[in-house]
Chains A and B, each alone.
Chain A
Amino acid sequence: MSDDRPDVAGRTCPVPLPHDARIVLGHGGGGVLTRELVERVFLPAFSNPVLAGLGDAALLPGEWWPGGTLADGARVAFSTDAYVVQPLLFPGGSIGDIAVNGTINDLAMSGALPVALSAAFVLEEGLDVAILSRIVSDMGRAARRAGVAIVTGDTKVVERGRGDGMTVTTAGIGIVPARSRLGSLPPAPGDVILVSGTVGDHGMAVMSVREGLAFESPIETDSAALHGLVAGLLAACPDVRLLRDPTRGGLVTTLGELVTGTGYGIEFEEEAVPVDAAVAAACEILGLDPFHVACEGRLVAVVPADRADAALAALRADPLGGRAARIGRIVADHPGFVVARTAVGAARIVPMPLGEQLPRIC
């Protein structure tokens, strides 16, 4: 046992590849890869100050309008999103629900009241019309419930094997009232971070179907339009610093985006983040972290500390915010980083996810 003895000291490790030359699924994951793709490919081509803000919705400057402004100083919010999900139908909803609610939420996070949506469909040859009808009627119901009209649309069909059943793209416009003070001051150390409910429900609803997991009570998507919840929150706490909806990439991606490139950090208590018991169990089984899993009907709010209780009460007063919780705060320490306090009292850096989350085997 001398020369051929294995040497643990000589270990080298697998080196992940940068994936710069070709699109991989991770480019759609909402993490670091998505951000790099946007920064390297899209921003240079489209270069303009509104896009450069990279908000969920664009706020169009008043001077872009004939006459220089809208009535009463209101602003127009504009947003679009493409929806791809498998399966198309899942517990609690369908691609239709998230296509309507998702775009409404992107508008709502800018403080806008949604006015109208467009919907464009790419259908795959062979798609069952009954499924399409169900999805479109889900869209109609979601729009009516939200008080928003779907006013224009388009339909294309692609050959079998080239369309994944169907994809939906919606765009929406909304009006930000002149009185809105949302975002008039940026987040600052001491501000409190709230989440409006349990995290990871939507992602696990979809994944549990995909993985064939059955639970006594199925995990349902949390898909919902949040502009009403936002209105209640802003009424109680007009000086909300910032609103985000933690969709793909989940809560930690949203928190990571909040601090990236800023002069502040975030600290949050893992125990304070509400997670449904069935979602937690499904995540354990699949080796996923619920903080990385998508929501479709939740928001993250940064609010001034002295209004945090009022803001939390306003969220909880709404059925969509019944399990709202205070999860953390903005800190001056570790700018650009999110730190989680674990149940055992330790602290750990929460890295921004790179691409899509792959289940771990070990």
Chain B
Amino acid sequence: MKHLAEYRDGATARRLAAEIGRIATRRWAIMEVCGGQTHSIIRHGIDQILPPGVELIHGPGCPVCVTPLSTIDRALAIAATPGTIFASFGDMLRVPGSRGDLLALKASGGDVRVVSSPLDALDLARRYPDREVVFFAIGFETTAPASAMAVRLAERGGVENFSLLVSHVLVPPAIAAVMESPGNRVQAFLAAGHVCIVMGTTQYQPLCDRYRVPIVVTGFEPLDLLEGIRRTVIQLEEGRHTIENAYPRVVSDGGNRAALDALAEVFVPCDRTWRGIGRIAGSGWRLADRYAPFDAERRFTVDGILTEESTLCRSGDVLRGAIKPPECPAFGRECTPRSPLGATMVSGEGACAAYYHAGRVGTATGRPG
């Protein structure tokens, strides 16, 4: 992990930011697609050291946020079924369904386990053969290969008490959806490096051509992000729009063959609904027919659940840059960090939370955190 310090060097970061400032001759709006990149940008304050004309717009790349309410409700229904062990990545536990969340379900007796890999969930299934073990398979192309591997191993090993509640989503259709969204301001994308480790880079050139946008494959550390932004701005200034790999130390054009094979065998593309965005054609994966017995939605009765979405939050407008947080009627009133109405107010890293705190901080730090 000595790389960590190398890619976080403050002096080099400021030098890169200054270089971006020299290159940029006009205003540019760049979207980082991945929630992990958003986290890193805010965590390290990359947006604060960029020249004022280069704006980062946070994309829809947080799998937790875009998992549809109906799927959360199904997860809650399955997890509440007696005899079930429901295994999930940790940060899904706080996401509310129509009535309650997994944390509350756990507190009232549901067997909800936090795992860091679907393979851990498969181990649970082996250890508890008389229980149904369901893994909540969410995430982009990064987490999907492990889901595929788990299902494959379950089939080969005859583990029949294991299934997946699948809500995997894909980046390229989301990029297309952003570009076709009314009033879109995004002029270029930082593609998610970890997604490209799996999928390679070849999927993106058609998007560059179709929407005439540069897409630069970018990593997650401060220097990775700044280098991705630098290359994006160069393309924008030169009027080019091509796929470029600014994360070559881990991303190859062809992707990860073993992972791609597992994905192709286990999953087939499907339409999927993104929370707050709507249905995007071909934007998800479901289990292929051969693996349908491992589909939790077939094993459990999950039809007829009444799904009720809250409609107060305008974080979509905030994320798109259409409004600033204080322009939302709920900002600082119904919606605060303690009782947030949207993801942008949930963590200290969200735009709304940053503005909320900045109001208190005044000019002390110059800019919101």
Contacts and interface: CB of A to CB of B under 8 A. Distances in A.
Interface of A: 1, 4-19, 22-26, 32, 211, 265, 271, 277, 280-281, 284, 286, 331, 333-334, 336-337, 339-340, 342-351, 358-362
Contacts of B62: 362
Contacts, number: 232
Given A8-B181, A362-B139, A25 B316 contact: no
Nearest to B93: A358
B180 interface: yes
Contacts of A333: 361-362, 364-365
B13 to A, nearest CB: 4
Contacts of B64: 14, 361-362
A348 B108 contact: no
A286 B4 contact: no
B278 A337 contact: no
**7 closest residue pairs by CB, A with B:** A346-B45, A11-B316, A333-B364, A11-B276, A349-B369, A351-B348, A358-B90
Interface string B310-329: 11110111011010000000
Given A13-B315, A360-B36, 10 more contacts: A8-B320, A9-B182, A17-B94, A281-B4, A344-B46, A346-B46, A349-B354, A349-B358, A361-B91, A361-B139
Given A17-B100, A351-B337, A359 B317 contact: no
Contacts of B214: none
A14 B275 CA distance: 8
B268 interface: no
Interface of B: 1-2, 4, 8-10, 13-14, 17, 34-36, 39, 42-49, 60-65, 69, 72, 89-96, 100-101, 103-104, 106-108, 114, 116, 138-140, 143, 177-178, 180-184, 222, 274-280, 309-313, 315-317, 319-320, 322, 337-344, 346-348, 353-354, 357-358, 360-362, 364-369
Most chain B beta-carbon contacts within 10 A, residue among A5, A15, A280, A336 = A15
A342 B361 contact: no
17 contacts: A4-B278, A8-B320, A9-B182, A11-B60, A13-B65, A26-B103, A211-B116, A339-B369, A343-B44, A345-B45, A346-B48, A348-B43, A350-B369, A361-B138, A361-B139, A362-B36, A362-B64
A11 B67 CA distance: 12
